[in-house]
Amino acid sequence: MDAASLLVGLLVGALLAAAVTLGVVALRGRGGAAPEALEPVHESLDHLHRLLAGIERDRATAHGELREQVGTIGQTSALLRQETAALVTALRTPHVRGRWGEVQLRRVVEVAGLLEHCDFVEQPSGTTDQGSGVRPDLVVTLADGRQVVVDAKVPFTGYIEAVQATDPAVRAQRVADHARQLRAHVDVLAARRYPSAFGTAAPFTVLFVPADGFLTTALEAEPALLEHGFGRDVVIATPSTLLALLRTVAYSWRQERLAHDAAAVLEAGRTVHARLSTLSGHLTRLGSALGSALTRYNETVGSYERSVLVATRRFDDLGVAAAPVPTPAPVEGTVRALRPPAQELPGFDERDGTTG
């Protein structure tokens, strides 16, 4: 019996006891009264019957809804078990497991802010110093031109079996198997010599584990697993640690681009400065030439007045010419010389270009 049924039973018992008590009290007070005296008792019992009928309908409705919800939860649980079993079965397949690792690696790279074909290349081909062809999952280019090789093909069948195990002894055995599989994969990855296939690659390979739980579980059985990888130039990285590494790489790339832009701006400034220096030289020579031309012009005008106009005025005095020869006027003026910038001249007045 559930709590709701027990509560309804107690309520019905209390109401019946109250009704019977009221009926007995009424009968004793009226003695041998007529049947009409029992009418209030009948009304109370009818009201109690209607109340109990309503409570029963509500209980049946609630019980039906609860049964429907429990059935829905059961169907959802069954479907979830089927999907989980299908996922586990798929992850046992090597190519599906490898593809899932590649997708996780791609997501981490995108979150880090790196750009494809600019900061990293997926699955490039190369040849090691032993003549073997290799194809890592990812090659990240650092700001200094060096590269970091990343591999995401990690076996974790033992981890799946450990999660599914209910017996603690079996789970411990599967965890040990998972750690042994990961250790063996580190040895295989070290033997592939990925860095030698790329001339500018760093002297280590990053082994990407698609989930932090994979590495944590393996470390339970073999705490020295990371040191084992370091000794063979293999760095085991989870999504969180690889994300930190790639964000550092992305930051270095941004700093490199800023430095490159600053160098380009500096070079452009030097070019403009050199051209302005050349233009200033041209202006100086042009001003000097203009000053010389002005001097030569005034000298020519003076010579013209002294030697030529004297003779021509005699024709004017004889009335030979229809109009007198005009006298050219001398040109007075100076060519403005280039001055240093205003901020280098103390007391410089920019309104009239004079110094005080």
Percentage of the chain exceeding pLDDT 70: 71
Mean of the pLDDT values across residues 172-199?
88
335 within 8 A of 290, measured Cβ to Cβ: yes
pLDDT band at 353 (very low <50, low <70, confident <90, very high): very low
Q: What would the pLDDT profile of 68-122 be if each residue is shown by its tens digit?
A: 888 888 777 777 766 665 555 555 565 555 566 677 777 887 777 776 656 778 8
Per-residue model confidence (pLDDT) at position 259: 73
Of 170 and 345, more confident: 170
**DSSP labels, 128-197:** -TTS-EE--SEEEEPTTS-EEEEE-----HHHHHHHH--SHHHHHHHHHHHHHHHHHHHHHHHHHTGGGG
pLDDT band at 129 (very low <50, low <70, confident <90, very high): confident
Mean of the pLDDT values across residues 268-289?
84
Can you name the residues that pair with 201 across neighbouring β-strands? 147
Weakest mean pLDDT among 4-18, 49-63, 73-87, 293-307: 4-18
- Domain total for the chain? 1
Mean of the pLDDT values across residues 215-233?
89
202 domain-assigned: yes
Neighbours of 149 (CB within 10 A): 23
What is the C-alpha to C-alpha distance for residues 81 and 73, in angstroms, rounded to an integer? Answer: 12
266 domain-assigned: no
Residue with tokens 């709701």: 4
Q: How far is CA 119 from the centre of its chain?
A: 14
Neighbours of 340 (CB within 10 A): 8
206 within 8 A of 151, measured Cβ to Cβ: yes
Mean of the pLDDT values across residues 117-142?
80
* φ and ψ at residue 98, rounded to 5 degrees: -65, -40
Q: How far is CA 341 from the centre of its chain?
A: 48
Predicted TM-score (pTM) above 0.95: no
Residue 348 in this model has a pLDDT that exceeds 50: no
For 168, the domain range is: 96-255
What is the C-alpha to C-alpha distance for residues 117 and 57, in angstroms, rounded to an integer? Answer: 69
Burial degree of 186 (CB within 10 A; 0-12, 13-18, 19+): buried
280 domain-assigned: no
